[in-house]
């Protein structure tokens, strides 16, 4: 039986690997159907999945049993009344390009506790030969993956990214010092940052 795969699911394992030991509370921003949220339940004491689309979250709860340590909430990450510093781990997959870049990065950093880890897998606007080459290779690799996996279509709203990878990296360098931004296949990049202890 073919396993499910998508451009986002491809990076779930990397995200889970980045979860710090003894993670007390995690937030999955733009969780959609909650696939990653439920996986985080296995390595965090408590997990919150947040999304603007109440219909998607309702469908997710019907699809399978929700782990006891997972809570889903409907709301906007920019205004939802989470307390500052209340999460040990924060993930965001294919969501940042739906938000104002710099304010969202600041918001993410505020919600993390000292020593907490942020992992973003996002989309960027292709700009230049290197991006074009990665896009071509990503397209070929994606078609190959679909031959061996069941491709899971996203139910999330589609929006074309506006920022280039260079612009995203610049903002991260300024707002999240010592963060690591890396171009990835399947039209994605990853950003990993650990908030300083003080």
Tokens of 71: 């809570």
Instruction: Please report, rounded to a whole number, the percentage of residues in the chain having pLDDT higher than 70.
Output: 80
Report the pLDDT averaged over residues 142-149. 56
Domain boundaries, the chain: 4-125+155-194
> What are the strands of the beta sheet with 87-93, ordered from one edge?
70-74, 44-51, 23-29, 87-93, 112-123, 188-194, 180-184
Q: What is the pLDDT of residue 1?
A: 54
Position with higher pLDDT, 128 vs 169: 169
Q: DSSP characters for the chain?
A: -PPEE-TTGGGHHHHHHTSPTTEEEEEEET-TT-HHHHHHTTTEEEEEEEES-HHHHHHHHHHSPPPTTEEEEES-TTTS-PPTT-EEEEEEES-GGGS-HHHHHHHHHHHEEEEEEEEEEEE-B--SHHHHHHHHHHHHHHHHHHHHSEE----SPP----SBHHHHHHHHHHHSTT-EEEEETTTEEEEEEE----
Residue 111: which pLDDT band, with cuts at 50, 70 and 90?
very high
Q: pTM for the whole thing?
A: 0.88
Tell me, which fold does domain 4-125+155-194 have in CATH?
A: Rossmann fold (3.40.50)
Report the pLDDT averaged over residues 12-39. 95
Residue 107: which pLDDT band, with cuts at 50, 70 and 90?
very high
Q: What is the pLDDT of residue 127?
A: 86
Contact 69, 25 (CB under 8 A): no
Q: What is the pLDDT of residue 153?
A: 61
């Amino acid at each position: 039986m073919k396993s499910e795969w998508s451009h986002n699911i491809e990076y779930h394992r990397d995200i889970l690997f980045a979860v710090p030991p003894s993670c007390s509370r995690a937030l999955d921003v733009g969780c959609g159907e909650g696939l990653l949220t439920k996986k985080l339940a296995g390595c965090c004491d408590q997990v919150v999945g947040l999304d603007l689309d109440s219909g998607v979250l309702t469908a997710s709860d019907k699809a399978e049993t929700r782990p006891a340590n997972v809570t889903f909430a409907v709301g906007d990450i920019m205004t939802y009344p989470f307390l500052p510093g209340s999460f040990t781990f924060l993930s965001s997959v294919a969501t940042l390009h739906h938000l104002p870049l710099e304010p969202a990065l600041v918001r993410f950093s505020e919600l993390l506790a000292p020593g907490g880890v942020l992992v973003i897998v996002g989309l960027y606007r292709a700009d230049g030969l290197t991006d074009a080459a990665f896009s071509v290779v990503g397209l070929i690799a994606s078609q190959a993956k679909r031959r061996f996996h069941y491709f899971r279509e996203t139910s999330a709203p589609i929006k074309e990214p506006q920022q280039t990878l260079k612009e995203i990296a610049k903002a991260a360098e300024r707002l999240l010092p010592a963060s690591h931004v890396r171009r990835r296949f399947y039209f994605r990049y990853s950003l990993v940052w650990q908030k300083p202890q003080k």
